[in-house]
Amino acid sequence: MPKPMIYKGRGSLSNAAGRFEKQSSHTEDDGWGSLDAELPPLATEVITDSSRSLITYNDSPDLPFDRSINPYRGCEHGCIYCFARPSHAYLGYSAGLDFETKILIKPNAAPLLRDELCKRNYRCAPLALGTNTDPYQPLERQQRLMRRILEVLAETHHPVSIVTKSALIERDLDILAPMAEQGLATVYLSITTLDRSLTRNLEPRAAAPQRRLETLARLRKAGVPAGVMIAPLIPVLTDPDLETIVSAAQAAGALSAEYILLRLPLEVADLFEEWLRRHYPLKAEHVMKRIRDSRAGKTNDAAFHQRQSGSGLYADLLAQRFRLICRKLGLSSGLPPLATHLFRKPEAGGQMSFDFFD
């Protein structure tokens, strides 16, 4: 078997060619022990994304929003289970290490957003950020794309909901707190497990679970409606933590809790199983069996109304446990709805219309 490529701070153990590529490569031992050497750090490559639009629209009945923004394609957090990994194949890259190290950024995200909000036929509805890749991944410290996007949304009084694993969101509390006061911002902190050692393997560059709970508490202290998103809930591996996570989040001030059951689309299935057998070999068969039990015998079921929570007895048991703990802790009502009536279109070129100041 080929030796896995274990890079410190990276989640994937391989970098297979994308499914649309005609050529592939694999490691081969040349007899000189070259594969035994410790691998050097794998640097992140920043690539400019020249997309001419920013807002992505959907009509999925599974989603509570119809539009989203992703200023980054690829994610340094390196979560091995990430369902967005296969999207890198459309760019000619691998869903493995390429997804974590070749990050496409949209440097003109804020001007693009302003232009789209200016359009005559634009109608305001909550924008979702963090639905595909994390807008507060490590690169955001230097790129500041998310902050500039929030500045446009705050200026136009446009509602936004954010999902993140990062404590970096605290940097933007000076924008989010005033927006939240007007009913324009909500946040979900994504927490998969409270086990720090598991997190280091599962989400190598994301904030530690306890740090995310601190961030949740600081958001609530600043008046931002916030909750916990257990995404994904991994059968056997993390589902024993379900009640503990919800209880810890409620103690930190969470107003709501949600969960999404793990699904493994396309390349993610092989990547996750490879990772699982390397790090948790004694649990691997049990985990994969429960995943298939919850996905109609497969590792992924993309059917509407099932892909979020799965199907079958095991999935039903998880859903029942989640409902019971949320009911016990008063977290079943969800976050408050976002206001859309305050929206004011920006003037083309960056100047607000005078009625904004009325």
Distance CA 276, CA 261 (A): 17
Supply the pTM of this predicted model.
Answer: 0.92
Domain spanning 49-345, CATH class? alpha beta
pLDDT of residue 347: 79
70-87: string of b/e by CB count within 10 Å (b at 16+)? bbbbbbbbbbbbbbbbbb
Partners of 47 in the β-ladder: 104
pLDDT of residue 304: 87
Find where tokens 């000076």 sit: 174
Distance CA 168, CA 166 (A): 5
Cα torsion through 235, 241, 247, 252, rounded to 10: -100
pLDDT of residue 355: 42
DSSP state for residue 20 in the 8-state scheme: T
Q: pLDDT truncated to tens, each residue of the chain (358 aa)?
A: 566 778 889 999 999 988 888 777 666 666 666 666 666 778 999 999 999 999 999 999 999 999 999 999 999 999 999 999 999 999 999 999 999 999 999 999 999 999 999 999 999 999 999 999 999 999 999 999 999 999 999 999 999 999 999 999 999 999 999 999 999 999 999 999 999 999 999 999 999 999 999 999 999 999 999 999 999 999 999 999 999 999 999 999 999 999 999 999 999 999 999 999 999 999 999 999 999 999 999 999 988 888 899 999 999 999 999 999 999 999 999 999 999 999 999 976 555 444 433 3
186-214: string of b/e by CB count within 10 Å (b at 16+)? bbbbbbbbbbeebbebbbbbbbebeebbb
pLDDT of residue 37: 64
Distance CA 153, CA 84 (A): 25
Those residues whose C-beta lies under 8 Å from the C-beta of residue 135, and which sit 6 or more positions away, are 69, 70, 71, 72, 129, 145, 146, 149, 162, 164
Q: What are phi and psi of 162, to 5 degrees?
A: -130, 140
Residue 201 structure tokens: 């393997």
pLDDT of residue 22: 75
